[in-house]
Chain A
Amino acid sequence: MQSPIYTDQKLLSALASGDRKVTEMIYQQNYSIINGWLIKNGGSSADSADLFQEALVVLFGKAQDSDFTLTCSIGTYLFAISKHLWYKKLQRQSREPIQLDERLGGDEDEQGIVSEDDINAHHEREVHFEQLDAALEQIGEPCRSLLKAFYHHDKSMHVIAADFGYTNPENAKTQKYKCLGRLRKLFYNMQAK
């Protein structure tokens, strides 16, 4: 079987849309390099699986912005992000004191590829989603399940209408809007606090 040839930019937009084949390919092409590096730097295979997953999520998040373009290959970017995340993790655990800038200074070609901002933006994004989840947990049923079905599990209004026992998708949609209204109130009240 011949696999189609992708350019990195095409790969990136496929990754951004959550294409499984492409994600698998990116995983296979890059994981072992990061794993090898991490083992040499005091990590385990479990660490590198963790790290690599997070790096993929960072890239996925960045790629959501259609204006985002890579200034290097996907592999280089993922490697740089993984290193960054690893040094941060070590710092947090303070297993050994590491000056992030010093260590990164050694890899000159990577400077400018990954900035602290990318990682920070990723963390902010995650925190924002967590807050949203917290609000979602509080709105009660059937709203919680309905919104999760639509937004998290990507179910159509037809399926939801059938699952939740609404006579037609239009009614389910009306309910969804009501639920969104409640979520908005809860979420922005929480934010105000």
Chain B
Amino acid sequence: MSISNNIWEVAEAYVAGTLTESELGELAGRMQSDTAFAKEFNESTQLIGSITASGKNKRFKTMVGEITQEQTSKQKSKRKFININLLPQVWKTAAVAASVAILTSTITIWSLKPAIKRNDSQYTNISREVAVTKKMQAGQQAELKQLREIIKEGNKPTPPPSDVRYSGTGFALTNDGYFVTSNHVIHNNNKSDFDSVYIQSHDGQYYKAYLVTYDADADIAIMKVEKKNFRFGKGELPYTIATSKAGLGSQIFTLGFPNEDIVYAEGYIHAKNGIEGNDQQYTLQLMAEHGQSGSPVIDQKGMVIGILTAIGSQGEGTNYGSSYAVSSKALIDLMHKIPNEPHLNKTNKLSRLSREEQIAKMEMYTFSVKVYKK
């Protein structure tokens, strides 16, 4: 090889150490007499060295990442039962910096979700962010198993083989498939970054849903189950939606899905308006958790008076255990915007029932909303 050849060919050979004595001599001579060439040659060898090392470094990190996953999943399976208790407390950060690379990407995705929306630290939306890594949650495992079974059965609706990103709660508006959830469950940080939304009904089946309309300010999204002739339950909905605002001090309860199981909580209307005097909202004294966004807030007579949207973080000016609900009035306003507006049920069948009976009836129409992204 003569060093008058392609500079890269020479640089590669130089880095690989395959240049002969005479070629090295020739190279040294040229570099001494031609400083521009010398600079270019030095840069070239450095670049080859760097990009080679960088590639090697990347492959090593990928490998170590894989080893870590293998090892952790081995350990996880041993400790599965201890971890179940932690399930509702782990959250994925809203913004996983893509630049954090493989080194950390499988590991540090869990941390407390920071307060979002309105730059108000006392206000936290309560959709639940779900593990990206399947191995991370025992509950998720169960869910996947269930998915596989559904897929096996073939004729039933099958969710996409991607991971659940967010989950929230939804409840039926009409028996034929219209339902409502919090807008932030599907549009996280105002980005519609979901591929598909499924509900998991009370019998464990998944149904795909599409977005009908939404109001980002009020934090409501109205959706509909895609399946034809779909019905939530046998008859009409047992509850009605309140058209006016409920009074201060009204006793309320809610049903939602902070985890895989439906959860009941009760409280009262603490203030007629929500955060910063927002009259589309209520302030509630009610313990809520992530995943309960979109849950119905129901009064003693079985009227839905609101939709749970956020919890107050502990701090000045907020009580421990306070949360916020969007008034059902905002929901009714939004429904008016749907062409062929669906008819809401006008007969309340819950008013004379005991709380236990009310809950039993409501359960059929309250479900987990799962947002998927590839």
Contact = CB atoms under 8 A, between A and B. Distances in A.
Interface of A: 18, 20, 23-24, 27-28, 31, 45-46, 49-50, 52-54, 56-57, 60-61, 64, 125, 128-130, 132-133, 136, 147, 151-154, 176-177, 180-181, 183-184, 187-188
Main secondary structure on A side of the interface with B: helix
Contact of A177 (B6, B52, B56, B63): B6
B107 A49 contact: yes
Given A64-B53, A151-B55, A180 B44 contact: yes
Given A18-B60, A31-B71, A61-B57, A50 B47 contact: no
A125 B40 CA distance: 22
B103 A152 contact: no
B37 interface: no
A188 B68 contact: no
Given A151-B51, A151-B54, A23 B63 contact: yes
Interface residues of B, number: 33
Interface string B193-227: 00000000000000000000000000000000000
Given A57-B61, A133-B54, 11 more contacts: A20-B63, A23-B63, A50-B103, A53-B64, A53-B103, A53-B104, A57-B103, A64-B56, A129-B58, A154-B59, A184-B40
A132 B52 CA distance: 11
B9 interface: yes
A31 B70 CA distance: 13
B67 interface: yes
A183 B40 CA distance: 12
A180 B54 contact: no
7 contacts: A18-B59, A23-B60, A27-B71, A53-B61, A61-B57, A132-B50, A152-B55
Contacts of A187: 47
Contacts of A151: 51-52, 54-55
Contacts of A154: 55, 59
Interface in B99-148: 99, 103-104, 107-108, 110
Interface centre among B48, B53, B64 (most CB of A within 10 A): B64
B72 interface: yes
B92 to A, nearest CB: 12
Interface centre among A20, A46, A57 (most CB of B within 10 A): A46
B8 interface: yes
Contacts of B68: 27, 49, 52-53
A149 B364 CA distance: 53
B43 interface: yes
B28 to A, nearest CB: 21
